[in-house]
Structure formats: C-alpha cells, structure tokens
C-alpha cells in the first residue's frame, strides 16, 4: 500500500531521540527552546512557542487572542475540523467562509461579506501547502481591525512572494503529525512577531502558570501562581530532539514533494476528466497534499467506487476534507447546513488526494499515475 502521506525517519533521527532518553531532561528541558529557535530562524519569525500538537497550538492562538463568548472568528469551510474547533474551545463562534474553486484557498471576497462588529480574527488555511492570498487577507484584516491567523499546518517550508510562511500573519500554526512535512510524533508550533502573544501562549501551555520549574529553581523558591486557566499542552524533549533532527532534512523533503507534484502535473496534463488544483505564480507550494478534481459524472464512476478500487490496487487515496460546517456537531450546535458554502460543497464531491511523501520512489509515482489514468479513461 502506498499511503497518501507518511513520515521519513532515518538513523540520525533515531540517535537524536536515544540521546535525550539517556539525558536528564525528558520534558521542559533544553531541546524545547532549541527546537523553537530552529523553527523561528527557518520561517524568519521573531518568536516560536511549541505545543503538544497542532490542535493545542491553534487553541493557544485563540487564547492569546482572548477569544470568548460572542466573539466571531472567520475560518474556511474546507479545512481539518481542528481549525474551527479551536474557536469553540474558547467559547467563540466559528463563521465559515467559502473557498475559491480552483485552489480551495479561503475566498477573500467571501471573507469581506462575513465581517461583523463581533469579528475578532480571520484564520486562513494554506490548503494542501499553497499559501493563501496573504496580501489581500492582510489588507482585509487591517481595514477591519481584526487579526490574521495562518493555519499553516500544510505549509511548513512554503513561501509567499519570497517570504517564508510563518512570518506573514499575526500568528502562524504548524503541525508535526507524521503525515506533515516533518514529524515529532505529535507536536505543533506557533510563530509570531508579537511578544505579548508569545508570553500568553507560554503561560497557557503550562497550566496558566507564568514561570516553569527552571525559573523557580534559579530563584531558589517554591512559590508560583496560577493566573489563567491553562492546560498541559507541553511538548517533550524527546519529541523536540526528533523535530530538530527532522528539520535539517526539511528542504530535501519539500523539494522531493515538489518533484513528485510536477511528475503528476505532467502525467495529467492531457487528460480532460482530471484537473489538479491551480497553483498561483507568487507562491512556492510545499505540497503537503496533491489534490485533483475528477469529473466523476463524465467517467461514469462514482467517487466511492473509485476510492474502493484504488485502495484495492494499493493506492492510498484520501479525501481532504468534508466541509467542516457539514459535520453533525456544527449542524447541531451552530445551526449550519448545506448551501452555506456552495463552492466548498460542490468541489468536495470531486476531490481526491493522491499519495505524496518524500519516501515515494519514481516507481511508486508511476504506479499511482497508472491506476488513476486507467480509472479516468
């Protein structure tokens, strides 16, 4: 089976983890700050705060923004549920914006129409690894006095007009789940240029306590205060050691993903029933996902059958994503229903994610192309 995504771990990664296991610090030790420093350097952001997952990092962002009851946060309909869930964790209201049909990126015109006096932030998702239209999104956010957040869980290593994703929004969230560009098993990070946000997130990930055990020891004191309701969202040194080691290979990983994408692009160029998502000129796409739109009506096969047959042939196709507002939780608790985001809903019926990860050989890529081509012809 060729999975749609998976980690690439080598001996150096394993050694890095083993070293931490033999050290004094399994968590809240030196590797956490080192990993944060490496990521902030890479994405050219001043600050980085690591979390136990990308979802915890999103929650930290919503806390830093002080989202609460009555606050609205605009999110795209086409994303992983965690993007919207983080708003709800803080008792805020996610407001779903439709996406552009050719890229599945948040539609800036749709966002404009959804802004109200209660809007506090917009979360843009760099869907599949392609940066959103940051310039337009920043302009909208500035004009309305709201914050722009990037859910860049798909886009570590991507660029927008020559700038690294991670430095072009008020806060940017990354995930290190095994299917993402680099992995720590579970893990996440927020990068920001704002020191106040950074401070709030550090407190939030540590139970709402502003100093950690190292600072207390340095002061020679046992005393601490819990000043906010925080969580234990800390990442371990074991995970960060893996992250630091993985990060050295990021450039190669992204290059290989881009290479595979260009092989797919060429192979599907002449086929009328299959259309890869559009890629804008001003971006360097990081290809977390390779998504195509298939005209299932023309090929006389529904997606369920295509999916089943592909999996039976060893191709780990997937669908990213079911529009979030269609999930039972959002229908029940926020009254959302079909028709709210018609573009996302229509394109959802056509999309298929094909396998893409650095461990794939050219032979694997050809196998996928063969199976998909046969199905659409």
Q: How far is the CB of 359 from ligand PLP (least distance, A)?
A: 19
Strands (DSSP E) along the chain, which ranges?
Answer: 47-51, 72-76, 93-97, 119-125, 147-151, 159-160, 163-164, 171-175, 188-192, 274-276, 283-284, 290-294, 351-354
Among 60, 188, 243, 276, binds ligand PLP (CB under 6 A): 188
CB closer to ligand PLP, 132 vs 164: 132
Q: Which stretch binds ligand PLP (CB under 6 A): 25-33, 76-84, 267-275, 325-333?
A: 76-84
Check residue 183 for interaction with ligand PLP (CB under 6 A). no
Check residue 151 for interaction with ligand PLP (CB under 6 A). yes
Q: How far is the CB of 227 from ligand PLP (least distance, A)?
A: 26
Nearest to 279 by CA among 160, 165, 137, 124: 160
The strand pairing partners of 160, in sequence order, are 163, 283
Question: Which listed residue (31, 120, 159, 180) is catalytic?
Answer: 180
Distance set, CA 101 to CA 188, 242, 281 (Å): 29, 37, 17
Q: Which stretch binds ligand PLP (CB under 6 A): 51-59, 196-204, 229-237, 249-257?
A: 51-59
109's CB contacts (< 8 A; 6+ apart) are none
Check residue 318 for interaction with ligand PLP (CB under 6 A). no
Among 82, 155, 165, 240, binds ligand PLP (CB under 6 A): 82
DSSP sequence for 336-371: --TTSSHHHHHHHTTEEEEP--TT--HHHHHHHHHH
Check residue 54 for interaction with ligand PLP (CB under 6 A). yes
Check residue 353 for interaction with ligand PLP (CB under 6 A). no
The strand pairing partners of 73, in sequence order, are 94, 121
Report whether 132 contacts 83 (CB < 8 A).
Answer: no
Q: Is 199 a catalytic residue?
A: no
Nearest to 194 by CA among 42, 61, 57: 61
Among 7, 8, 53, 184, binds ligand PLP (CB under 6 A): 53
Check residue 236 for interaction with ligand PLP (CB under 6 A). no
CB closer to ligand PLP, 149 vs 244: 149
CB closer to ligand PLP, 78 vs 146: 78
Residues annotated as catalytic (active site), given as ranges: 180
Q: Contact positions toward ligand PLP, by CB under 6 A? A: 53-55, 79-80, 82-83, 125, 151, 153-154, 175, 177, 188
């Amino acid at each position: 089976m060729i999975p749609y995504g998976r980690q690439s771990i080598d001996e150096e990664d394993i050694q890095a983890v083993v070293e931490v296991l033999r050290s004094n610090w399994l968590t809240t030790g030196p590797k956490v700050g080192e990993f944060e420093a490496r990521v902030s350097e890479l994405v050219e952001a001043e600050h980085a705060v690591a979390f136990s997952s990308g979802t915890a990092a999103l929650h930290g962002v919503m806390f830093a923004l002080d989202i609460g009851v009555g606050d609205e946060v605009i999110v795209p309909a086409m994303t992983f549920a965690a993007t919207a869930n983080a708003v709800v964790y803080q008792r805020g209201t996610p407001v779903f914006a439709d996406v552009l049909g050719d890229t599945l990126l948040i539609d800036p015109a749709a966002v404009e129409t959804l802004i109200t006096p209660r809007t506090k932030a917009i979360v843009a998702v760099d869907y599949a690894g392609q940066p959103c239209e940051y310039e337009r999104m920043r302009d909208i956010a500035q004009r309305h006095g709201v914050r722009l957040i990037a859910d860049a869980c798909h886009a570590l290593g991507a660029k927008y007009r020559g700038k690294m994703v991670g430095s072009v929004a008020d806060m940017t969230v990354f995930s290190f789940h095994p299917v993402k560009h680099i992995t720590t098993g579970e893990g996440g990070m927020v990068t920001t240029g704002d020191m106040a946000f950074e401070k709030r997130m550090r407190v939030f990930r540590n139970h709402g306590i502003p100093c950690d055990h190292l600072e207390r020891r340095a002061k020679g004191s046992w005393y601490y205060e819990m000043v906010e309701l925080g969580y234990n969202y800390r990442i371990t040194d074991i995970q960060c050691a893996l992250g630091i080691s993985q990060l050295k290979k990021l450039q190669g990983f992204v290059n290989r993903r881009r290479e595979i994408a260009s092989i797919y692009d060429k192979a599907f160029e002449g086929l009328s029933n299959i259309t890869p998502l559009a890629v804008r000129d001003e971006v360097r796409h990081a290809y977390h996902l390779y998504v195509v739109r298939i005209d299932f009506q023309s090929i006389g096969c529904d997606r369920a059958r295509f999916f089943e047959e592909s999996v039976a042939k060893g191709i780990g196709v997937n669908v990213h994503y079911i529009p979030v507002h269609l999930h039972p939780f959002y229908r029940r608790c926020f009254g959302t229903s079909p028709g709210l985001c018609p573009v996302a809903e229509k394109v959802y019926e056509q999309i298929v994610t094909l396998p893409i990860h650095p461990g794939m050989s050219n032979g694997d890529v050809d196998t996928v192309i063969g199976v998909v081509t046969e199905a659409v012809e």
